[in-house]
């Protein structure tokens, strides 16, 4: 899974929105069997749907094309195993901030690079916790 986030059809992905979507799907009260409408403050339906579709294509969540209007719209159903893994790596605000800083300095990112940065942070914290 090395999906490069880039502009498609004039829309862009947003790494912070991606994190918010993953947390919102995890926190949803649905049974993980049916799609649900996701609402995130400050984000429109098209922006959310586009990023949900990208996360589905990356294998991080299961989503359905619900096409409610004249545009394609995707609603999340549940996280996949890889989605849970990435979300667990994203939980630390400190680690998340360091990964974002690294991505800014690199000038871009892939999901694999993002996950590697976050996992490396977790390893460092684990070694520090274990005194090594």
Does the pTM of the predicted model rise above 0.75? yes
Ramachandran assignment for 4, one of left (phi > 0), alpha (psi -120 to 50 degrees), beta (any other): beta
Report pLDDT for 108.
78
For residue range 15-42, list pLDDT tens digits in order.
889 999 999 999 987 778 888 989 999 9
Q: What is the DSSP letter of 3?
A: P
For residue range 45-73, list pLDDT tens digits in order.
888 998 999 999 999 999 999 876 666 68
Q: Which two tokens stand for residue 1?
A: 């899974």
- Number of neighbours of residue 82 by Cβ within 10 angstroms: 15
Q: How far is CA 41 from the centre of its chain?
A: 16
pLDDT over 90 at 83, yes or no: yes
3-state secondary structure of 29: coil
């Amino acid at each position: 899974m090395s999906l490069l986030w880039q502009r498609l059809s004039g829309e862009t992905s947003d790494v912070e929105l991606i994190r918010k979507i993953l947390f919102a799907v995890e926190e949803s009260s649905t049974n993980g069997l049916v799609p649900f409408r996701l609402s995130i403050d400050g984000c429109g339906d098209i922006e959310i749907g586009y990023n949900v579709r990208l996360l589905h294509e990356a294998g991080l969540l299961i989503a359905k094309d619900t096409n409610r209007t004249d545009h394609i719209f995707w609603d999340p159903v549940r996280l996949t195993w890889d989605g849970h893994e990435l979300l667990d790596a994203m939980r630390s605000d400190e680690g998340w901030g360091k990964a974002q800083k690294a991505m800014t300095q690199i000038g871009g990112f892939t999901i694999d690079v993002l996950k590697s940065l976050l996992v490396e942070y977790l390893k460092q914290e684990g070694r520090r916790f274990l005194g090594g």
